[in-house]
Amino acid sequence: MIVFDSEEIKKDQVCFLHIPKTGGKTLWDLFGRQQETIHVWHSKFFKQLSQPEFLTMLRDPVDRVISTYYYIKRYERDPLYKQFRNMSLEQFVEYIKNDKIPNKRFKSKKDLRNLRYRTVNLATRYLSGGDPNNIKQAKNNIKRNISLVGFTDMYFESLFFMKKRFNWDLSAVKKQNQTKNRPKVNAIPKRLIKTIETYNQYDIELYRWAKAKFLKDIDALDSQTRNEMEVWVRDMQG
């Protein structure tokens, strides 16, 4: 059972901090099949509470930004869809770099200025508690309050850690909300990639720092658990 965006969380419950475009809706499907209550913060930034155990997912920031472009362009229910229909990827990236537009959430979801809010250091914003530039606070919150950070490019390894830590049944993955038929990052012009990187430096730092910790946790597994993980990942990949 899932409860969305509630701060009334019991001590033995888990809260998933959902950063957009990180495979979170696939997890929603998995969470919904568990017997216990799992909280999902979909529209909330991190906030320190005394009770719950937090987890989250991160994605390569450049890949996440590009995925956001193709998602908005193809998803008719997105508030920015109509404004995106004729927007090229280059125009999209030019909009991201427009520093005259404040990097904040505007009241109307249809306000195109929200594009920078959705694409510039978004993970840092969510994990710091609302500030897209406070990388130090984001790291501190992970170290002190978030027990598990998974990664979309190591999705099944991340699910394995969740399965072991929380004793969840995560064996039937049905991927949700995928942006289909979009080009890979290496097919995007390098100058556009460079601009996206320039405006997501904190997210890139945060991603690399957290990923290094995750890889160390994998290296620290005993041989039996490591083998169990490798077999499980192969089975999940089919």
**Measured distance CA(89)–CA(15) in Å, rounded:** 35
> Cα 6–18–21 angle (5° rounding)?
145
User: If we measure between CA atoms, which residue out of 53, 112, 127, 106 comes closest to residue 81?
Assistant: 112
* Torsion angle in degrees (nearest 10) through CA of 31, 36, 42, 44: -150
SS3 content of the chain, % helix, strand, coil (to 5): 50, 10, 40
User: If we measure between CA atoms, which residue out of 183, 207, 180 comes closest to residue 193?
Assistant: 183
pLDDT in the model for residue 179: 62
pLDDT in the model for residue 206: 98
Residue pair 10/51 in contact (Cβ under 8 Å)? The answer is yes
**Measured distance CA(85)–CA(73) in Å, rounded:** 6
For the chain of 238 residues, list the mean pLDDT of each consecutive stretch of 10. 91 92 87 91 89 91 95 93 92 95 94 96 97 98 95 95 92 64 85 97 98 97 96 88
Domain boundaries, given as residue ranges, for the chain? 2-237
Q: Class for domain 2-237, per CATH? A: alpha beta
pTM for this structure?
A: 0.93
**Measured distance CA(150)–CA(80) in Å, rounded:** 29
pLDDT in the model for residue 174: 65
Give the length of the chain.
Answer: 238
Name the region of 146 (left: φ>0; alpha: ψ -120 to 50; beta: rest): beta
**Measured distance CA(212)–CA(110) in Å, rounded:** 37
pLDDT in the model for residue 185: 86
